[in-house]
Chains A and B, each alone.
Chain A
Amino acid sequence: QQPVQSPQAVILREGEDAVINCSSSKALYSVHWYRQKHGEAPVFLMILLKGGEQKGHEKISASFNEKKQQSSLYLTASQLSYSGTYFCGTFGGNQFYFGTGTSLTVIP
């Protein structure tokens, strides 16, 4: 039931945009997004609780399509500080499932 993220890895130049997708084979009732920099703890970015909900966090925003069981994270005008591994997460049954992760590297 672990959500699948795509792409697995992406390299961007500063200022470029990226989209990270999170898909679940089971119904999604809420989606979390976290970023983990190398050697650090995951840091919360945002939660989407309702289908169709969109949220923004600086230049990072996300959407949640409950019917398609998908969520997407949008990073615009990427900065070097955006580098890290991004995880989506969702609750299913009695567990919290993190996605497979997307490694994002921003280069000058």
Chain B
Amino acid sequence: KAGVTQTPRYLIKTRGQQVTLSCSPISGHRSVSWYQQTPGQGLQFLFEYFSETQRNKGNFPGRFSGRQFSNSRSEMNVSTLELGDSALYLCASSPLEIQGRRVAGELFFGEGSRLTVL
């Protein structure tokens, strides 16, 4: 079974630009969640999509958005990039939705997209 695939792996942008990152989950997984990882803040939850619907959202500004397609592939977009957006963006897929207060499904992570904002 192929793992979670994220593209691009590395990218460099300048302040004010926008960026779109892509994530292809493991076949059969309908939940895709996104995380931002930085040395200072650690791993921070961005949002989760399940069956094309955003189910949960972390404490990030509206510049961070995402969507999920019918084949479960997901994209996240960051508009008006700021220097502080430089980070490793990880996506994870799961066979189960993050629901209620009990997370029953393990998360399978992709290698991440490393974004540098200059």
Contacts and interface: CB of A to CB of B under 8 A. Distances in A.
Contacts of B58: 95
A27 B4 CA distance: 31
Given A41-B111, A42-B90, A91 B57 contact: no
Contacts of B42: 2, 87, 98-101
Classify chain A: how many residues form its interface, as a range.
20 to 34
Contacts of A96: 33, 45, 48, 56, 98, 103
Interface residues of B, number: 27
Interface string A1-43: 0100000000000000000000000010110101000001111
A105 B112 CA distance: 23
B66 to A, nearest CB: 15
Given A32-B107, A41-B110, A44-B108, A95 B102 contact: no
Interface in B18-57: 33, 35, 42-45, 48, 55-57
A1 to B, nearest CB: 10
A92 interface: yes
Interface of B: 4, 33, 35, 42-45, 48, 55-59, 90, 98, 100-104, 106-112
Interface of A: 2, 27, 29-30, 32, 34, 40-44, 47, 49, 87, 89-92, 94-101
